[in-house]
Amino acid sequence: MPGVFDRLQKEIQDKQREGGISALDLADLPPALRRIMRMMLRELQLDYPRLVEAVEAASKEERLSRAELNAALDTLTQQSWLTRLGEGERAIYKVNLRRKAGSTLASGIWASLDDKLKGEPK
């Protein structure tokens, strides 16, 4: 019978496989969440007081109340768009970007160029 630690380990592994977000995913977000993510992508890491300042400095149409900001941050954290370190006023939020797959194209190009420079036909 799996225990609590086994279940938590499985959740961690699932989240690692999922990765974070990609820029293409931003289009699917509601406008308020998209604004927060655009702000976060500029900085990659912001603490809660700086987030509040940035939201209060936004235009009247884009401004969120403190309750809306908190709800948006909770949603983005639960959906793994952001990771939260700490709680409340001392919380620090970081963007959770997906790892990019490595390209195999580059090694082929460099090998081809080396062959041409050495005068060895492939």
Task: Name the residue ranges covered by the structural domains of the chain.
Answer: 4-118
**For the segment 51-93, what is each residue's pLDDT rounded down to a tens digit?**
999 999 988 888 899 999 999 999 999 888 899 999 888 999 9
Instruction: Say what the pLDDT of residue 91 is.
Output: 92
Report the topology of domain 4-118.
Answer: Arc Repressor Mutant, subunit A (1.10.10)
- Please enumerate in sequence order all residues whose Cβ is within 8 A of that of 84, keeping only pairs 6 or more positions apart, or say none: 73, 77, 91, 92, 93
Are the C-beta atoms of residues 21 and 99 closer than 8 Å to each other? no
Most distant pair of Cα atoms in the chain: their distance: 68
Q: Could you give the CA distance from residue 43 to residue 65 in angstroms, rounded to a whole number?
A: 21
